[in-house]
Structure 1
Amino acid sequence: MKKRRLGTSELYVSEIGLGCMSLGRDEKHARSLIDQALELGINFFDTADLYDQGLNEEFVGRALKSRRNDIILATKVGNRFEVGKDGWWWDPSKKYIKEEVKESLRRLGTDYIDLYQLHGGTIDDPIDETIEAFEELKQEGVIRYYGISSIRPNVIKEWLKRSNIVSIMMQYSLLDRRPEEWFSLIQEHNVSVIARGPLAQGLLTERPLEKASERVKNNGYLDYTFDELKEALHSIDSACPDRTRTETAIKYVLHQRVVASCIAGASKQEQLLENVQAAKAKDLLEEEYEALINATKQSLYTIHRD
């Protein structure tokens, strides 16, 4: 599988990464998905301390231990929780980050993290203090690089201006084109986008729209009504008639050079294989890309802008 450089870092990540949140609580099943991902050429694995209160990190760590030098391992911090208790709360403090990284290292069974990401963020955070924590962890050799996971423009702008992040994880798909407004700014800072949700909760797969959740049927998806979704999906299919919808969706996201990798969750091996095959397909023709632009909304973030 093709790899792309993450920002100005020395990390080259596969165009499809495995979003580990969907691995579930059955370790045997989780390991089978990770093993298949490796066989298919995926080298980028993204988890978080919050997922199943650390259990996900443990599964990922054990499954990848023998391949540690061959893979790029990413995890996240900031959502504080107590094992066995429901809920979590936001804590981007330097003290917490420097404590919690030790727990992630322990659960992952490694002595370094390739990409450590802030799992959210607000404009009211002590941003300089948080950056200081990540910079110290880099100097200590505990992490190689750091990034943020955020869709808030005001947060993104501050981190681009004040930090040495190499990546921003953002929800991005044909049905959620809001990040595109900020791609030129992100590129100016030599930072990469990690696209999560490229298949829009399965709406951009071969699954019939009639099988969508009741929530989608009643409320639509983002600023698409259910009827608008029907129309948009028909137009997307018409724009690329020789491609599967999964292929169209993933190649659209990868058409953006600022995007380093698509983090697609997969709970079944068939889904993982479809995602990888889609990434390996031929690139979009310019006329296909233009048709997809015209078939979908260029929405904008309306809050958290300043």
Structure 2
Amino acid sequence: MRRLGTEGPVVSDLGLGCMGMSQFYDTWDDAESIRTLQEALDLGITLLDTADMYGPYTNEELVGRAVRGRRDDVVIASKFGNLKNGAGDNVGVNGNPEYVRTSCEGSLRRLGVDHIDLYFQHRVDKAVPLEETWGAMAELVTEGKVRHLGICEAAEATVRKAHAVHPITAVQTEYSIVSRDPESGLLDALRSLGIGFIAYSPLGRGMLTGRFTSFDDLRPDDFRRELPRFQPDNLAHNNEIVARVAELAWAKGVSVTQLALAWVLHQGVVPIPGTKNPVRLRENVAALDISLSAEDLALLDEIAPVGAVRGERYFAAGMSKVNI
């Protein structure tokens, strides 16, 4: 267990990302997902991460059903700000104060709870002064509807600006051994400010599982087909890195997934790997028992240094919404 930031909630070292239970990756099964969520609580995982845009809306309902009767066992993180139309397509970002309030009310209703433990601005709205968005978020804390605040995919200067309006408990950004952008100043800044860090996609959106040996391994409706890092030539290059990580994992008698999670845990942050399968959940949790030596860490730095992976995290439209 660890505390997020200096005054945030105490959470399990490993959280659970719930997005893939309702959208984006492969197919999904609500009954299996609920079993996975409830087993996660049984295993001591307390941090569950969702958002209104996942589904859209259905993921919060799923999480709400899974934790019913066990509210005191869980720290629920949810998010607002990414807009979707009726077809589920991304159509923009909204940081208007009125939207902050209506989004929170909707999330509370779908989750079936009287407060959200950690409420994130999912993406920064460049058209709305950050102070206005965070002023509205701070009001939610005052009213008791939200306990703590966070921000996703924000640059250091933006984090500092929001933190001046209301203390930030955690920043959430993609971070893994194949996605190390936060090391370029952000992590050090958060440590100096007493802000926690939650790493989403700590397995490189599944790349570090070794499941995707080629582009054709992705289902036709899998959104990773739209990501630069999974395009055929890039994926072939990136899988060479994964293969070297796997060699070290096998030498240590663990899976490549477990080694990749152990590396993120070693950075002193809270990873939230997503899975909807109880077997993979247990595999992930076993990463908590893995120790990495200085030699292991040095070898991993040699295998996957910053910038080694080929391809951006998103195409141009997605990249325009991160590191703002």
Once the two structures are TM-superposed, the CA of residue 36 in structure 1 deviates from its matched residue by 1.4
Distance 1:305 1:86 in 2: 22
1:290 matched to 2:294:
no
SS of the residue 2:197 aligns to = strand
The 1-side partners of 2:262 and 2:161 are apart by 30
For residue 9 of structure 1, what is the amino acid of its counterpart? E
* Partner secondary structure for residue 115 of structure 1: strand
Alignment of 1:108-123 (within 5 A): 108-123=111-126
Cα deviation 1:257-297 (Å, max 9, x = unaligned): 2x1x211111222211111112x222211110111011113
Structure 1 residue 213: Cα displacement: 3.5
Instruction: Calculate the TM-score normalised by the size of structure 1.
Output: 0.87
Residue aligning to 2:206: 202
Please tell me the root mean square deviation across aligned C-alpha atoms, in Å.
Answer: 2.8
Structure 2 residue aligned with 1:262: 271
Mean CA deviation greater in 267-276 or 229-238: 229-238
Give the structure 2 partner of residue 58 of structure 1: 61
Q: Is the 8 A contact 1:150 1:156 kept in 2?
A: no
- CA displacement, residues 114-147 of structure 1 (integer Å, 9 cap, x when unaligned): 0000011155531001111111111111110000
From 33, 37, 40, give the equivalent of 1:37. 40
Cα distance change on mapping 1:142 and 1:226 into 2, 3 Å? closer
Q: 2: distance between equivalents of 1:30 and 1:230? A: 29
Aligned length: 300
TM-score (norm 2): 0.83
Shift of 1:69: 1.2
Q: Does 1:232 align with 2:241?
A: yes
Is the CA contact 1:37–1:272 (under 8 Å) kept in the aligned structure 2? Answer: yes
Report SS of the residue matched to 1:265.
coil
CA–CA separation in structure 2 for the residues paired with 1:221 and 1:135 = 39
Task: Give the direction of change, closer, same or farther, for the CA distance of 1:161–1:293 in structure 2 (3 Å limit).
Answer: farther
Which shows bigger deviation, 172-181 or 155-164?
Answer: 155-164
- In the alignment, the residues of structure 2 paired with residue 47 and residue 220 of structure 1 have an alpha-carbon distance, to the nearest angstrom, of 24
- Where do 1:135-150 residues align within 5 Å? 135-150=138-153
Distance 2:217 2:137 in 1: 40
Q: 1:191 aligned to 2:195?
A: yes
C-alpha separation in 2, matches of 1:84 and 1:255: 40
Q: 1:288 to 1:123 in 2, by over 3 A?
A: farther
| 8 Å CA contact 1:203, 1:212 repeated in 2 | no
- Identify the residue that residue 257 of structure 2 maps to in structure 1: 246
C-alpha separation in 2, matches of 1:135 and 1:213? 41
Given that 1:171 and 1:197 are in contact with CA atoms closer than 8 Å, whether structure 2 keeps it comes out as: yes
Q: Structure 2, unaligned stretches of length 5 or more?
A: 23-27, 313-318
Residue 180 of structure 2 corresponds to residue 177 of structure 1: yes
The answer to whether the 8 Å contact 2:259/2:290 transfers is no
Residues 209, 191 of structure 1: CA spacing in aligned structure 2 closer, same or farther, 3 A cutoff?
same
Cα distance in structure 1, aligned partners of 2:126 and 2:255: 40
Partners of 1:151 and 1:90 in 2: how far apart? 14
Quote the Cα distance in structure 2 between the aligned partners of 1:127 and 1:213: 38
Are positions 1:18 and 2:16 aligned together?
yes
Larger mean Cα displacement after TM superposition, 161-170 or 51-60: 161-170
Aligned residue number for residue 101 of structure 1: 104
What SS does the aligned partner of 2:273 have? strand
Over 3 Å counting, the alpha-carbon distance change for 1:151 and 1:275 in structure 2 is: farther
